[in-house]
Amino acid sequence: MSGPARPSVTLRDVAVRAGLSVMTASYTFSQPQRVSAASRDRVLAAARELGYQPNAAAKSLRTGKANAVGVVFSENLAYAFRDPQAAQFLAGVADICTEHGLGLTMLPTSGGREDPTVIASAPVDGFVFWTTTADDPTLAAAARTGKPVAIQGGPSVPGAECIGIDDNQAAQAVARLALHGSHRPLILSFPLSPDRVPSVTTGIDPDTATFPVTRNRLLGYRIAVTQAGLSWPDTTTAVLSHNDRTEASETARDLLAGHPNRYDTAICMSDEIAAGVLAAAQQLNIAVPQTLAVTGYDNGPDAETLQLTTVDQDLYRQGRTSAQAAMNLRPAPAMPSRWRVCPRATTRPGGDTGG
């Protein structure tokens, strides 16, 4: 019978006030040219007088459109606001939403069993995923809805558009700079999989990484290490639990303290991690790049200040492209995004910049 208390003015109220039918009132807003100027004016006047505001849920139920982009961070939503790379990406998503009047709905996945249901029932028209794994159940749930899906950084799965750069190539390129004059490289890696177990190992197998971003960068690093004439089985990789400056700094300090010459290069999967390593080096009075060369990834806001050699990629634009793909706003699938190496002062001079 009567639903919950609803102070809102409906289209029916407006129509009654204007002395016209509900449909004329509806057309006044959706197809104004179909309505006579006189009726239109009466409807608009009535709407203004009553303070009419359309009901999004009703419109959505009827049309099947939600006018919103769904953003999924498979692990922890708050992470979206803590990872500077994610923030850059989301700024791009946000701008597309603003330009098209679309809501940006961040979906509350908790890592629990209901996540697929949350995704499947989300009132959105398409999904933007932040880097995840191929076996992510929320990704499968999104694909099952039949709505468009865009994924930053992979995995590439059927029915979803993958937005990002060629991480293998870019990792190779920056590692070549890092490895110039190096004999004992250290790699600081993103987590291998959502369990986020940290580790320190030698000769890590890139295929043990289920995050495609991690896997592809490790693959690129391995190629560069091997091509530099060094032994991958002897190369140490420290896997962090998070893309976090503080954790990177502590890990680097643990590995370098008391053994300032154990490693002569730190190849880092992000500028954040590299910033942590640089902080540790400063604390330990290790000269950069003479004693320790350092590279990052992303060319974020701090890279220039730190004079960090890194990979430039435009995550803001990737955010825009992802949102467009998720809302079918562009005709053709996006091309792989561009990248380039930025040689700066944290690597030894003379390295090869060729990509």
Partner DNA sequence: CTGTTAGCGCTTTCAA
Partner DNA sequence: TTGAAAGCGCTAACAG
Footprint on this chain of a copy of itself (rule: CB under 8 A) = 1-7, 51, 53-58, 60-64, 66, 68, 76-78, 80-82, 87-88, 90-92, 94-95, 97-110, 114, 117-118, 120-123, 143-147, 157-160, 279, 305
Q: Which does 16 bind (CB under 5 to 8 A by kind): a copy of itself, DNA, none?
A: none
Q: Shortest gap between Cβ of 68 and DNA (angstroms)?
A: 16
Q: How far is the CB of 95 from a copy of itself (least distance, A)?
A: 5
Residue 3, CA distances (Å) to 6, 7, 10, 146 in order? 8, 11, 14, 32
How far apart are alpha carbons 150 and 195 in whole angstroms?
Answer: 23
The pair of three-digit structure tokens given for residue 343, joined into one six-digit string: 């040689």
Q: Do residues 210 and 192 make contact, with C-beta atoms less than 8 angstroms apart? A: yes
54 near DNA, rule: CB under 7 A: yes
Q: Which listed option, DNA, a copy of itself, none, makes contact with residue 114 (CB within 5 to 8 Å by class)?
A: a copy of itself
Question: Can you point out the beta strands (E) in 89-134?
Answer: 103-106, 126-129
Q: Which two tokens stand for residue 179?
A: 């490895």
Which among a copy of itself, DNA, none contacts residue 98 (Cβ within 5 to 8 A by kind)?
a copy of itself
Say if residue 116 is preceded by a cis peptide, omega within 30 of 0. Answer: no
CA distance 256 to 305: 24
Count other Cβ atoms within 10 Å, centred on residue 58.
Answer: 11
Closest contact distance (angstroms) between CB of 138 and DNA is: 20
- Quote the CA–CA distance of 97 and 319 in Å, as a whole number: 11
Which of DNA, a copy of itself, none does 90 bind, CB closer than 5 to 8 A by kind?
A: a copy of itself
Residue span binding DNA (CB under 7 A) among the ranges 59-67, 210-218, 310-318, 334-342: 59-67
CA–CA dist 27, 31 (Å, integer): 5
Which of the choices DNA, a copy of itself, none does residue 299 contact, using the CB cut-off of 5 to 8 A by kind? Answer: none
Residue 24's binding partner, choosing from a copy of itself, DNA, none, with beta-carbon cut-off 5 to 8 A by kind?
DNA
- Nearest approach, Cβ of 51 to DNA (angstroms)? 12
Residue 307, C-beta contacts closer than 8 angstroms, at least 6 positions apart = 344, 345, 346
**Count of CB atoms within 10 A of residue 127's CB?**
28
Q: Within 113-186, where are the H helices?
A: 115-120, 137-144, 167-178
- Tokens 């500028």 correspond to what residue? 271
Shortest reach from residue 54's CB to a copy of itself, in Å: 5
109 binds, among a copy of itself, DNA, none (CB under 5 to 8 A by kind): a copy of itself
Q: Are 201 and 237 in contact (CB under 8 A)?
A: yes
Q: Is 10 in the site for DNA (CB under 7 A)?
A: yes
Of the two residues 10 and 307, which places its CB atom closer to DNA in the complex? 10
Binding segment toward DNA, per CB under 7 A, in 58-66, 191-199, 264-272, 285-293? 58-66
Task: Kindly state whether residue 113 participates in binding DNA, applying the rule CB under 7 A.
Answer: no
Helix/strand number for the chain, H first, E second: 13, 12
Residue numbers at the binding site for DNA (CB under 7 A): 1-3, 6-8, 10-12, 20-24, 26-27, 29-30, 33-36, 38-40, 54-55, 58-59, 61-63
